[in-house]
Structure formats: structure tokens, C-alpha cells
């Protein structure tokens, strides 16, 4: 299986994981010229922009290590574009969450980084 197919599979599993935690998935793989956001959901009164990171083992590092400053900037700009393109107020309560998957162990980090 290629990397994109593996990524898609784990993004689907991450969506199920989030639904079980009470999230309402609004979009999957939102793309624009600025970047991509894996999942966009509503939870606890927030619009959540969610990055999904999978690693089969730690030989290439932990999943959280892949969320670097460049990735954070791209996600933040893409989230701003999402708000504008969907005519949502800049005052919309938002947060950036991450679903980290190591092998088949899922963890959720709410407010994984600051943005907007």
C-alpha cells in the first residue's frame, strides 16, 4: 500500500475515533492552494481543525514530531481560508487538535498548537 492510501486509511480511522469522542465531522481532506487540513469537526462548541499523524513505529520519529512550525503555519493559514470561504466570522471559537497514531494506538491532543 502506498503512503497516500495508508494515510487515507488512518484518517478514516481517526474520524471514527473522534466520532466516538463526540466530534461531528464536517469535512475530510479540505484542500486549497494554501494547504490541506485532514479533518474539520465541531466539538464542545469549537470548530476544530485536526491534523492526523500516523507512524507504524518510532524508527522515523514519533507522530507529534511531524507537526513542525512549517506545518503549523500552513494549517493555520488554511484554517483562515476555510473561515473566509465559508463566510464564518473570525470570532468563531476555533482550536487545533491532533490525532496521533503510533502503530494502532490512538491519542488525541486538544489545543495541540495555537493559531488563528
What are the residues whose beta carbons fall under 8 Å from the beta carbon of 88, sequence distance 6 or more? Answer: 47, 82
Calculate Rg over the CA atoms of the chain.
Answer: 14
Domains assigned to the chain: 3-113 (3.40.1350.10)
Q: What percent of the chain has pLDDT over 90?
A: 78
Tens digits of per-residue pLDDT, 32-43? 999 999 999 999
Confidence band (pLDDT; 50, 70, 90) for 60? confident
pTM, two decimal places: 0.92
Coil, strand or helix at 94: strand
- Residue 108's contacts (CB-CB under 8 Å, 6 or more residues apart) are 17, 18, 21, 97, 98, 99, 100
Side-chain half-sphere CA neighbours of 83 within 13 A: 20
Amino acid at each position: 500500500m502506498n503512503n497516500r492510501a495508508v494515510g487515507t486509511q488512518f484518517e478514516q480511522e481517526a474520524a471514527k475515533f473522534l466520532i466516538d469522542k463526540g466530534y461531528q465531522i464536517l469535512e475530510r481532506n479540505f484542500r486549497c492552494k494554501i494547504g490541506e487540513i485532514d479533518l474539520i469537526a465541531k466539538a464542545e462548541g469549537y470548530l476544530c481543525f485536526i491534523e492526523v499523524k500516523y507512524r507504524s513505529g518510532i524508527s522515523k520519529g514519533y507522530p507529534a514530531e511531524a507537526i513542525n512550525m512549517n506545518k503549523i503555519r500552513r494549517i493555520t493559514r488554511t484554517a483562515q481560508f476555510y473561515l473566509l470561504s465559508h463566510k464564518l466570522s473570525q470570532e468563531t471559537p476555533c482550536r487545533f487538535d491532533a490525532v496521533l497514531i503510533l502503530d494502532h494506538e490512538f491519542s488525541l491532543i486538544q489545543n495541540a498548537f495555537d493559531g488563528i
